[in-house]
Amino acid sequence: MTLDQLQSQFEVFKAKKLALDMSRGKPSAAQLDLSNELLDVVTSKDYLSFQGAETRNYGGLDGLPETKELFKDFLEVSSVEEVVIGGNASLTIMHDIVSRGITHGMCDSEHPWGKAPIKFICPVPGYDRHFSICQHFGIEMIPVSCNDNGPDMDKVEQLVAKDASIKGIWIVPKYSNPTGLSCSDEVVDRLSTMKTAANDFRVFWDNAYAVHHLSEDQDVLKNILATCKAAGNANRPFILCSTSKITFAGAGVSGVGGSIENMDWYRGHLFFSTIGPDKLNQVRHNRFFKNIEGLYVHMKKHGALLKPRFDKTLSILKSELGETGLATWTQPKGGYFISLDVPNGCAKRVVGLAAEAGVKLTGAGATYPGNNDPNDSNIRLAPSCPSIDEIEQAMQIVCLATKIAAIEIGIIKNSVLN
Amino acid sequence: MTLDQLQSQFEVFKAKKLALDMSRGKPSAAQLDLSNELLDVVTSKDYLSFQGAETRNYGGLDGLPETKELFKDFLEVSSVEEVVIGGNASLTIMHDIVSRGITHGMCDSEHPWGKAPIKFICPVPGYDRHFSICQHFGIEMIPVSCNDNGPDMDKVEQLVAKDASIKGIWIVPKYSNPTGLSCSDEVVDRLSTMKTAANDFRVFWDNAYAVHHLSEDQDVLKNILATCKAAGNANRPFILCSTSKITFAGAGVSGVGGSIENMDWYRGHLFFSTIGPDKLNQVRHNRFFKNIEGLYVHMKKHGALLKPRFDKTLSILKSELGETGLATWTQPKGGYFISLDVPNGCAKRVVGLAAEAGVKLTGAGATYPGNNDPNDSNIRLAPSCPSIDEIEQAMQIVCLATKIAAIEIGIIKNSVLN
């Protein structure tokens, strides 16, 4: 097929004046509907905690006992003392911990992190909000590339061993944003046991997709807190999660887990900024799920809505680009994203062409610190929100755009494409 | 009456093994009941915003339009652009603003506040949580005493005029914690117009009791943002409020108001830490109140519950201490507190004696920075939670303890008291 022919096809799509969006990792309306009962389980007649406690007044700095119990299982920590419940966003907790690190330091810091320049390791491609936090606080970001089983640990170990100004690493361990891939046991072990020049080094274990499986074929990860404890590095991980992509994205419950020393440090800080998170919303979540098994059952319903969307995305990629050799992509078992790599130098162009044809994609580069994808090749695809039909059209356009961009840049000749 | 006789009376109270609490400025169960409908106005069938917007998904960094509209009136600012909606606590916003000041500085700061030692003026007696924030960030606190109409402005003006390291002042302008008194127009004017050596000086206008009147006899304050704007100091005030003592103390909605430049600065910071506050809880509040008039009507019900409690507290103070000359106290028209001044050197002893007899009071000194009341004379009374009968007993004990402490310290002779 010639560039002319591809462009003719492209013009046909443009003429449709579509408005499709595969840019945002947010739940669809159908997914939100799965949790509507959450809005009915607390009423004016019935609002007490499981233990009969008042939930409308002040108190409960780190959460209701029953919510901490649920999150203990969710965060996979071993006691409720290793849990702190937050507000409606784990992003807030992550920002908060870094901010308090800058002003005060961790429980085992010699000085506040802000006393001298510090660095974080940023596995790439990764989550733009992690990078934004670093940028905001002037934390130098060191990109480290990811393999199919997590960050390049040879590189990570080498970096942290020699540089005491490296204070943290961002990890989305399961069904990562954007690759959808998970850390292997070896990566968990090496993150837990590696020697760090900084004795206040932290792993920000953002387990945003901990229970977000597409099917029964699930990734099971080694327990980061247990392996860190076994290695004598109990204070290394902060484990983050929330129900944003489980119940309601704006009205869920977040939590953080870690060593009791870390959690006591955080509770100590929270005293200065809150009387405690919304207990009524905690009660809603406890009543809705009952326990972690209830949460697992609920997640199967999400998976059933998401799987056909992932399948459709992958099937179009395969049928349109599979034999061209132009692109590679991940095939996740869970999460919200598929990571697509188009030819070097083409990602911005593909995103731009898609936009011309009415398909909004995550900005090229967004998965890299400073918005800078050195290869200009990575594109994050978010299939959760559009319908199957919309995904079909959007992905046809993305694939077409990839072919056009590849020809424009001279990587392939017109005639190579069928 | 002799010390022996007073102590006999005291033993009678002790023998009752009471457990009364006048320590916490929190709503009573009856007050919380006033807002129970809040738990029924959003259901699985009906959860959209007034404008029909989805409220279960991500989005709305600074609040729903309708909630900003309500808070525009609540905060007494002139446009929704001058409002940012927060989570469930204005304390969190205050901590947040100071923290971001430390790490980044205000919109008009030359450097982050944390680059050099800074100071805040702390009117005393005041709110311990304000002082805690300063203490937490190593901000030096300069106590300035309060008159019946606000802080001693001669002193405040003198301090801020010459010291550029003074970056802020805490003010609870209406029905202050703990005095229950309000700032006069003159104080508002002088705070708004005074020359400050720091050009990034801020007034933290914590209007926690903005609408918390006990009756129709209400304090009306001059508008701080308007006066600051008129004086060319539009960026000076951050106006804080929440519905913690209006709806539910743990599940309300908070907000901050100020110049658009200040609010844009804050919105810019919030981008890094949140996708936005819980919109469903905003919808609950909008439906419950409908508009600011609805909120005012609601507050009359609170006043009706609080007024007899304040009256009882004041009547016991008058009958038991009125003619002794031992104590002075405030007579607020609103808020949550009465400020009692016992003879110098007696506050700790009175609080201790009351505790022995089963009456929990706010710790003596809590109303001063560093918990240090130089006169050891101020005691904060919180009549909202106990019943009228409980207040009667508790206040009898407080007054008896005051007499005993005064005799012990030698201020009065046994025989002076009737």
Q: pLDDT (tens digit, 9 = 90+) per residue, B264-291?
A: 999 999 999 999 999 999 999 999 999 9
Which residue would you say has higher pLDDT here, B3 or A195? A195
- A415: closest CA of chain B, how far (Å): 45
Tell me, what's the pLDDT at A1? 79
Q: Is B322 exposed, middle or buried (0-12, 13-18, 19+ CB in 10 A)?
A: middle
- B21: contact with A, CB 8 A cutoff: no
CB contact under 8 A, A42 and B42: no
Write out pLDDT tens, residues A360-405.
999 999 999 999 999 999 999 999 999 999 999 999 999 999 999 9
pLDDT-derived band at B411 (thresholds 50, 70, 90) equals: confident
For the record, the structure tokens of B197 come out as: 């050596």
For the record, the structure tokens of B230 come out as: 């008129």
CB A189 within 8 A of CB A153: no
The whole-angstrom separation of Cα A327 and Cα A305 is 26
Quote the percentage of chain B above a pLDDT of 90. Answer: 97
Residue B142: closest CA among B119, B162, B165, B160: B119
Tell me, what's the pLDDT at B413? 74
pLDDT-derived band at B2 (thresholds 50, 70, 90) equals: confident
Tell me, what's the pLDDT at B416? 58
Residues of A in contact with B137 (CB under 8 A): 103
Residue A201: closest CA among A108, A84, A94, A131: A108
Given CA atoms B319, B322, B325, B330 in this order, what sign does their dihedral have? positive
Residue in chain B nearest A113 by alpha carbon: B103
Please list the alpha-helical segments (H only) found in A82-152: 90-104, 128-136
Q: Name the E strands within A160-317.
A: 166-171, 202-206, 237-242, 254-257
The whole-angstrom separation of Cα A94 and Cα B273 is 8
- Those of residues 120-159 in B touching chain A at CB distance below 8 A are 129, 132-133, 136-137
Residues of A in contact with B132 (CB under 8 A): 271-272
Quote the percentage of chain B above a pLDDT of 70. Answer: 99
Tell me, what's the pLDDT at A223? 98
CB contact under 8 A, A114 and B103: yes
Residue A43 gets which letter from DSSP? B
Q: Is A286 exposed, middle or buried (0-12, 13-18, 19+ CB in 10 A)?
A: buried
Tell me, what's the pLDDT at A413? 74
Backbone angles phi, psi at A223, to 5 degrees: -80, 115
Assigned architecture for domain A3-25+296-416: Alpha-Beta Complex (3.90)
E strand or H helix that includes residue A192: helix A185-193
Which residues sit opposite A311 in a β-bridge? none
Residue A94: closest CA among A59, A60, A142, A127: A127
Residue in chain A nearest B129 by alpha carbon: A272
Alpha carbon dihedral A293, A296, A298, A303, in 10-degree steps, equals -160
- B30: contact with A, CB 8 A cutoff: no
Asked if CATH classification 2.40.30.10 holds for the domain at B38-289, the reply, yes or no, is: no
E strand or H helix that includes residue B340: strand B338-341
Residue in chain B nearest A95 by alpha carbon: B273
Residue B149: C-alpha distances to residues B152, B211, B350 (Å): 9, 18, 27
Q: Which of B39, B273, B279 sits opposite A47 (nearest CB)?
A: B39
Q: Is B8 exposed, middle or buried (0-12, 13-18, 19+ CB in 10 A)?
A: exposed
- B249: contact with A, CB 8 A cutoff: yes
Tell me, what's the pLDDT at A412? 81
Q: Which of A42, A95, A277 sits opposite B88 (nearest CB)?
A: A277
- Those of residues 379-398 in B touching chain A at CB distance below 8 A are none
Residue B203: closest CA among B223, B219, B177: B223
Residues of A in contact with B276 (CB under 8 A): 250
Q: Domain ranges in chain A?
A: 3-25+296-416, 38-289
Q: Check pLDDT > 60 for residue B319.
A: yes
- The average pLDDT across B288-305 equals 98
CB contact under 8 A, B114 and A133: no
Tell me, what's the pLDDT at B418? 55
Residues of B in contact with A102 (CB under 8 A): 103
Q: Are strands B202-206 and B237-242 parallel, antiparallel or unpaired?
A: parallel
Q: Which residues of chain A have pLDDT under 50?
A: none
Longest dimension (CA), chain B: 73
- The average pLDDT across B310-338 equals 97
Tell me, what's the pLDDT at B414? 63
